[in-house]
Structure 1
Amino acid sequence: MKQIPPQILIGAYAEGVFPMAEDGEIYWFAPMMRGVIPVDERFHIPKGLRKSLRKKPFELRHNTAFAQVMQGCADREQTWIDEVIFTSYHDLFELGLAHSFECWDEDGLQGGLYGVRLGDAFFGESMFSRKTDASKIALVHLVEWMRAEGMTLLDTQWMTDHLRQFGGEEIPREKYLDLLAEAVSPWLENLPN
């Protein structure tokens, strides 16, 4: 398989399922407990990060280096981003469904994140940082964009201590699917056949 067709990815995300690659195989996941970060007033910016944000250490950009962000996310000892995943999400980016949020300075791209938007839901895929706070600032940039767009669901797939500091929590699959349907169904109904 060279790539996952966009319609398969869209259908999977709409059902609460997402892919990851391991040892040349694609596996599909639908965790019983799902990680989400609130985008309303419950979104929490830690005190140290607030200080960093005030200094404006990075130029914030959106969708200017999608492939570079994916490569930054994949550049680690163990990664689930292989060529199939890379190509598949780049196809979604070309369709306007995948997005990157980036932190730049005079030395270049220093961190960011990427994910998929369907309707009022954003599915965060991965993030990376080359300089202090770059990925965290990219996350704040994402949440600000989501608020401006009137979006309601920020899905992180799994929950980590890193994400909990932003108000992230785990919710049961049933509750997640209700939130997902609310965020995505109107958009799906307007898709051309």
Structure 2
Amino acid sequence: MKLTWLRPSDAFPSLNEQTYYDTEVPGLVAASDTISVDQLIRAYQGGIFPWYSEEQPVLWWSPDPRMVLIPSELKISKNLAKKIRQILRDPDWEIRVNTDFINTIMSCANQNRAGQNGTWITHAVLQAYSELHQQGLAHSVETYYQNQCVGGLYCVNLGKMVYGESMFAKVTDASKLALAALCAWCIAQDIGMIDCQQETEHLKSLGGRPIPRHDFLSHLAQNCGKDRIHWDFNKAILKHWG
């Protein structure tokens, strides 16, 4: 079966039907020349996400199994718990939401990662997700120390589904603090799953785990809606972790 090549308005392949898989690139379901906000929304609604390099066409993926993080299962190490207690007391530390989305996504793009050369956050990706943010569907959670952004993450939110995209840290545990805040907020909002897309050792260390794609799609069908959730929280949300 030939890999589906998408035009901007084309529908993504249904993952409930036979889907093309190359044994060398499992999870690849489609490719396109461009990436747009409309495509991104339709992709996330169908359990598909983009991941590619600058010199490649836009590649759309839906791996099986799917890596997810159940917010209540976030692993809070002793050191991170100590850090949370510290920043809750120290006014120099802040957690902000959507203060500087562009800086957050650019910092994620520039983060050095072991075993990776370059970044999948291309100029086209930056533009598309920035437009998604302007529509209130992409968000950033940022960690600040003495009014300087030292870490954070960005994600997509559709209904009761949160899709984690990328994190960065300029000081130790800064991205984990943002993730801990996000997970605590998800618990408060009755959001039961954060999509982490692909399995990595780092995600496993934070409590992420792979689940069958069928289970992920079932959860998606029940929780990916059009209702908007108001994104407004600060470091006080970290009290959830005790």
Structure scoring higher RCO (CA < 8 A, sep ≥ 6) equals: 1
Q: Is 1:149 paired with 2:189?
A: yes
**Matched letter for residue 170 of structure 1:** P
TM-score for the superposition, normalised by structure 2: 0.72
Q: Would you say the 8 A contact 2:74–2:180 is kept in 1?
A: no
Greater helix share, 1 or 2? Answer: 1
- Separation in structure 2 between the aligned mates of residue 171 and residue 134 of structure 1, nearest angstrom: 27
Greater strand share, 1 or 2? Answer: 1
- Per the alignment, residue 158 of structure 1 pairs with 198
Unaligned runs of 5+ in 1: none
Encode CA deviations 1:8-49: one digit per residue, 9 max, x unaligned. 111100111001231343111111111111123x33211211
| 1:154 to partner: Cα distance | 0.4
Q: Percent of pairs identical after alignment?
A: 37
* Corresponding pairs, count: 187
- Separation in structure 2 between the aligned mates of residue 110 and residue 2 of structure 1, nearest angstrom: 35
TM-score for the superposition, normalised by structure 1: 0.90
- Per the alignment, residue 39 of structure 1 pairs with 71
**Matched letter for residue 67 of structure 1:** I
Q: Following superposition of structure 1 onto structure 2, how do residues 23-172 of structure 1 map, counting pairs within 5 Å?
A: 23-24=54-55, 25-40=57-72, 42-56=73-87, 58-75=93-110, 76=112, 77-106=117-146, 108-172=148-212
RMSD: 2.0
Runs of 4 or more, structure 1, over 2 Å off, are: 1-5
Q: Would you say the 8 A contact 1:153–1:183 is kept in 2?
A: no
Encode CA deviations 1:135-191: one digit per residue, 9 max, x unaligned. 00010011112122221220010122222233210011111111111111xx24x79
Encode CA deviations 1:48-102: one digit per residue, 9 max, x unaligned. 1111111106310000010000010000452000110000000010000000000
Q: Would you say the 8 A contact 2:143–2:149 is kept in 1?
A: yes
Give the 3-state SS of the residue equivalent to 1:21 in structure 2. Answer: coil
Q: Which moved more, 1:66-75 or 1:107-116?
A: 107-116
Q: Would you say the 8 A contact 2:154–2:166 is kept in 1?
A: yes
- Separation in structure 1 between the aligned mates of residue 33 and residue 101 of structure 2, nearest angstrom: 19
Q: Would you say the 8 A contact 1:32–1:173 is kept in 2?
A: yes
- Separation in structure 1 between the aligned mates of residue 98 and residue 161 of structure 2, nearest angstrom: 17
- Separation in structure 1 between the aligned mates of residue 76 and residue 62 of structure 2, nearest angstrom: 28
**Matched letter for residue 46 of structure 2:** E
